[in-house]
């Protein structure tokens, strides 16, 4: 996963240049499967989770890995914003920076 061929640079959350895996793009091309997102949000009373399953992504741009990475990052951002306080912010998602870009940490 640290191999640069698995990464593209695409906007993610409020970071305009984020190293992003293109694994979703590769899997979509290899499988030909329909794509959707699934996320879980802890309930306010902390007694279980709400499961969120999206509609099929009929507009997923599977022909271009750069556009696909931007698209998936928007999907991820939408899911984070369901409950941003529950996202694992200590995970250094933006530690790998494009050449010449400064650290966001």
* DSSP 8-class letter at 63: T
Rounded CA separation 35/60 (Å): 8
pLDDT digits (tens, 9 = 90+) for 19-69: 888 999 999 999 999 999 999 999 999 999 999 999 999 999 989 999 999
- Is the pLDDT assigned to residue 103 strictly greater than 60? yes
Q: Find how far residue 41's CA is from the centre of its chain.
A: 16
pLDDT score, position 2 = 54
């Amino acid at each position: 996963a640290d191999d640069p061929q698995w990464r593209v640079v695409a906007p993610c959350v409020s970071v305009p240049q984020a190293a992003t895996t293109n694994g979703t793009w590769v899997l979509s091309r290899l499988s030909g499967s329909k794509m959707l997102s699934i996320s879980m949000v802890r309930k306010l009373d902390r007694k279980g989770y709400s499961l969120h399953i999206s509609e099929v992504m009929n507009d997923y741009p599977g022909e271009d890995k750069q556009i696909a990475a931007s698209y998936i990052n928007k999907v991820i951002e939408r899911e984070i914003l369901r409950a941003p306080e529950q996202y694992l912010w200590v995970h250094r998602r933006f530690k790998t920076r494009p050449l010449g870009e400064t650290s966001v940490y």
